[in-house]
Chain A
Amino acid sequence: MIRVSNLIKSANGTRILRGVSFEVPPQTVLGIIGASGSGKTTLLRCLNGLDRISDGSIACAGVHLDATLSKKEYSRRLTELRRRVGTVFQHLYLFPHLTVLGNIIEAPTHVLRVPRKNAETEALQLLESVGLKEKAGRYPERLSGGEQQRVAIARALAMHPEILMFDEPTSALDPKRTASLRTLLRGFVEKGHTMVIVSHSIGFLEGLADQLLYMEGGEVVEFGDADEILKSPRDPRTKDFLEQAK
């Protein structure tokens, strides 16, 4: 589960997040929507532990972060948080010097110290589940954008994350590949994964997200059940955004 209260994030004197609060139960898919610069990616970077929070607190994947913690303790918990969430970046950041298989087993073998054989077996299973088993020996550059994304997903899953996070997963995909990604993610939902998906594509989130969070100017404008918000948004700003998005 995720609980965020009064989260403030400032960088270079400007507040990017101005007091964000919400709570998501486990095994839920949270969709975060909003225009560019609304702070949705920053929120994601706070949730997965890449950015340090300026004020407030976050409880995510069983790790509690509080801006008042000592620097040392904060860093310790940050490391823990990063290990418990898996993130698929918009630009993926696959490791170009490693093969597909190498990308996936790198962290399990060196961070979790799983024996190489076991890690490889599991990685091949993961690749099979994303339909890329036969490309295990290739280098990322030789894969298509959609294939690269599925490698990134498999790489994140190999660390058995409690929460899976996506930043703009559809930005580089054509409609056909978007649909197949949706099918893949729906499979994860059925297996009980908790997911956070930052996206500007309402169509992609429709029927996938359980809850929606609409952000504007670093604040939460509307948060609640996805179907309800999509059907009848309460705030006029949400309504405007949804209409423009269509």
Chain B
Amino acid sequence: MAWLLLVSVARAQQPLRWGADPSGGAPYVFNDPSHPDQYIGYEKEMVDALAAALGRKAEFVPSDWETLVSALQRKSFEVIINGLEPTADRQKQIQFSKPYYIFQLALTVRKDDERIHSLADCKDKVVGTLGNTAASRLLQKEGVPFKVYAEPPTAYRDLEFKRIDAVIMDVPAEVFYVSKKSTTLKRACDPFFRGTYNIGLRKGDDELKTQIDSAIDKIINDGTFEKILRKWGLWNDAQLELQSKAKPEQQNIDVAYDVTSSTFNWREAVWRLARAAVVTVLIAFGSMFIALIVGMPLAIGQWKGPRIVQWLCTIYVEFFRGTPVLVQLLFLYFGLPTIGVAMPGWLTALIGLGLNYAAYESQVYRAALEAIPRGQWEASYLLGMSPLLAFRRIILPQAFRIALPPMTNDFVSLFKDTSTAFAISVWELATAYRELANASGQFLMLGVAVSLYYLAMSLPMAHLARRLERKLQRREAIEAVESEVG
């Protein structure tokens, strides 16, 4: 008995580790702009109040929204507190506390937009939202085309850049990013929908759940939480419902999850993965095409061009090889619109990866071209060929043979690099995997499915490349065998 007491005391003295995604996480929890090494947010303050009620200290574990549930299961932290809604899917993997906040959804459009006054007006528009949220499930259910973002600010920025027509977001985020400060965006209509935020816990942590539930009751009923919400401009009369004395169990049933709940639909998942795979293939082939085309003048410029051209080509190559492709994509996607060039995400990825790989291809070409003996040029000239003809008919075919294996390698790595398009909200295969797997917890099976997709795309390519290489190198092979025999 004393032993048990000791254990629970020891546990009580340990900090309450809680996980949330602070990236674009305002007003829930985010980096304090004036003290970037500190986190602030209404949920941060709420957790501090909860921890105080539990007699523990709170310790924040910054995580990633999409992987919160799996991180909880991996015991990276004890609880998820991040405006998390108790969906049926999540309830298969984790359990939830009683609700602590009742949220609504806000539909945001550009100030000058007179077309959209409700979600129904968005059927033929594109609406931005966060992945795996009540809003995204509502859009899916209503059949509204939507685009998934990792963070609210990027969604609102794309709305301003006219890449999308509207953004739907939980009211707290909308209040923080739009209502409070935006001059270019407005609410299309009054907030609608009703959902709850609950605290996520591991299944089996029942003792902690009981403690947390009573702590939630305490801070709601003694007005602590109301004070916090008012401070952040998030208080509304809907929250009064939580102050009523209904039993926790009853509360859970009352809350209307059914609108938003989703069980995992394998057929749909495979179909969505297939669509994502098509995007991956298009980006990979499109950007490789650009790389192969742009790489050639770069290689020739750096190899035989006048001094100034050599310099410019070298600067290009070193710039694109020396900076991460992720940074280049972010720059193209978010940087260029400020000077008036706003491309959709997939085109940005295609061009960005293409320009990046052009730098690599140019080096492959250059090495291959330089590997051709000068005598091949001279022999061509002495047969009366012009430099262009000699290049096209004699030098290029030989260089291609040398360049093919490294080009194949580059294509395979380009194929994998398409996953960086995730950063600019392109729904390609890796993004799809992350999102679907985090939503369902089916990391294993979906991982197998995604791998199969990748292999189904890359294996035929590798096979083709190998066959071409073999065809080109067969002669050397025969030669080698003959000299061995001889």
- Please choose the segment from B220-228, B292-300, B431-439, B471-479 that sits at the chain A interface, where 4 or more of its residues have CB less than 8 A away: B471-479
- What chain B residues lie within 8 Å of A107 (beta carbons)? 383-385
State the CA gap A89–B380 with chains docked (Å): 12
Who on chain B is nearest to A48 by CB? B382
B398 contacts partner chain A, Cβ-Cβ < 8 Å: yes
- What chain A residues lie within 8 Å of B344 (beta carbons)? none
Within 8 A of A (CB), among B463-486: 475-476, 478-479, 482
Known A97-B401, A110-B389: A91·B384 in contact at CB below 8 Å: no
Within 8 A of A (CB), among B369-397: 373, 375-376, 378-379, 381-386, 389, 393-394, 397
State the CA gap A202–B19 with chains docked (Å): 90
- Please tell me if the beta carbons of B376 and A139 are within 8 angstroms of each other in the complex: no
Who on chain B is nearest to A96 by CB? B398
- What chain A residues lie within 8 Å of B476 (beta carbons)? 141
- What chain A residues lie within 8 Å of B397 (beta carbons)? 97
State the CA gap A87–B384 with chains docked (Å): 11
- Please tell me if the beta carbons of B389 and A111 are within 8 angstroms of each other in the complex: yes
A186 contacts partner chain B, Cβ-Cβ < 8 Å: no
Specify which of A89, A110, A141, A155 is in contact with B479 (CB 8 Å cutoff).
A141
State the CA gap A54–B382 with chains docked (Å): 20
A86 contacts partner chain B, Cβ-Cβ < 8 Å: yes
State the CA gap A91–B374 with chains docked (Å): 11
- What chain A residues lie within 8 Å of B479 (beta carbons)? 141-142
Specify which of B378, B383, B389, B398 is in contact with A97 (CB 8 Å cutoff).
B398
Specify which of B382, B385, B475, B478 is in contact with A87 (CB 8 Å cutoff).
B382
State the CA gap A117–B383 with chains docked (Å): 19
Known A50-B378, A142-B478: A155·B383 in contact at CB below 8 Å: yes
Count of chain B residues with a beta carbon within 8 Å of a chain A beta carbon: 22
Tell me the minimal C-beta distance from B453 to chain A in angstroms. 37
Who on chain B is nearest to A97 by CB? B397
Specify which of A86, A111, A141, A155 is in contact with B475 (CB 8 Å cutoff).
A141
- What chain B residues lie within 8 Å of A87 (beta carbons)? 379, 382
Specify which of B381, B393, B475, B478 is in contact with A50 (CB 8 Å cutoff).
B381
Within 8 A of A (CB), among B392-432: 393-394, 397-398, 401
- Please tell me if the beta carbons of A159 and B383 are within 8 angstroms of each other in the complex: yes
A82 contacts partner chain B, Cβ-Cβ < 8 Å: yes
Known A83-B384, A107-B383, A159-B384: A142·B398 in contact at CB below 8 Å: no
- Please tell me if the beta carbons of A89 and B375 are within 8 angstroms of each other in the complex: yes
Tell me the minimal C-beta distance from A202 to chain B in angstroms. 27
Known A96-B398, A142-B475: A106·B393 in contact at CB below 8 Å: yes
Instruction: Flag A212-231 by CB within 8 Å of B: 1 or 0 each.
Output: 00000000000000000000
Chain A contact-residue range equals: 20 to 34
Who on chain A is nearest to B396 by CB? A97
A85 contacts partner chain B, Cβ-Cβ < 8 Å: yes
| Number of A-B contacts defined by CB within 8 Å | 62
Tell me the minimal C-beta distance from A155 to chain B in angstroms. 7
- Please tell me if the beta carbons of B398 and A82 are within 8 angstroms of each other in the complex: no
Who on chain B is nearest to A106 by CB? B393
Q: Is the interface of B mostly helix, strand, loop or mixed?
A: helix
Known A97-B397, A110-B393, A111-B389: A82·B381 in contact at CB below 8 Å: yes
- Please tell me if the beta carbons of A111 and B385 are within 8 angstroms of each other in the complex: yes
Within 8 A of B (CB), among A50-76: 50
A95 contacts partner chain B, Cβ-Cβ < 8 Å: yes
State the CA gap A107–B180 with chains docked (Å): 75
Who on chain A is nearest to B386 by CB? A79
- Please tell me if the beta carbons of A111 and B398 are within 8 angstroms of each other in the complex: no
- What chain A residues lie within 8 Å of B384 (beta carbons)? 79, 82-83, 107, 111-112, 159
A22 contacts partner chain B, Cβ-Cβ < 8 Å: no
- What chain B residues lie within 8 Å of A139 (beta carbons)? 475
Within 8 A of B (CB), among A12-66: 48-50
Who on chain B is nearest to A139 by CB? B475
Tell me the minimal C-beta distance from A82 to chain B in angstroms. 5
Known A142-B475, A142-B479: A93·B385 in contact at CB below 8 Å: no
State the CA gap A141–B401 with chains docked (Å): 15
State the CA gap A233–B384 with chains docked (Å): 39
Who on chain B is nearest to A141 by CB? B479
State the CA gap A156–B378 with chains docked (Å): 13
- Please tell me if the beta carbons of A82 and B382 are within 8 angstroms of each other in the complex: yes
State the CA gap A172–B219 with chains docked (Å): 97
Specify which of B379, B393, B398, B478 is in contact with A89 (CB 8 Å cutoff).
B379
State the CA gap A231–B384 with chains docked (Å): 39
- What chain B residues lie within 8 Å of A89 (beta carbons)? 375, 378-379
Specify which of B382, B385, B482 is in contact with A86 (CB 8 Å cutoff).
B382
Determine which residue in A93, A94, A111 has the highest number of CB atoms from chain B within 10 A of its CB, and name it.
A93
State the CA gap A83–B478 with chains docked (Å): 35
Who on chain A is nearest to B397 by CB? A97
Tell me the minimal C-beta distance from A197 to chain B in angstroms. 16
- What chain B residues lie within 8 Å of A48 (beta carbons)? 382
- Please tell me if the beta carbons of B482 and A142 are within 8 angstroms of each other in the complex: yes
State the CA gap A15–B426 with chains docked (Å): 65
State the CA gap A106–B394 with chains docked (Å): 9
Listed in ascending order, the chain A residues whose CB lies under 8 Å from chain B are 48-50, 79, 82-83, 85-87, 89, 91, 93-97, 106-107, 110-112, 139, 141-142, 155-156, 159
16 contacts between A and B (CB under 8 A): A50-B381, A79-B384, A82-B382, A83-B384, A86-B382, A87-B379, A89-B375, A93-B373, A93-B378, A93-B379, A95-B398, A96-B398, A106-B383, A110-B385, A142-B475, A142-B478
Give 10 closest A-B pairs by Cβ, nearest first. Answer: A107-B383, A83-B384, A93-B379, A93-B375, A111-B384, A87-B382, A97-B397, A139-B475, A141-B479, A97-B398
Other 4 A-B pairs with CB < 8 A, given A49-B382, A50-B378 = A89-B378, A95-B394, A107-B383, A159-B383
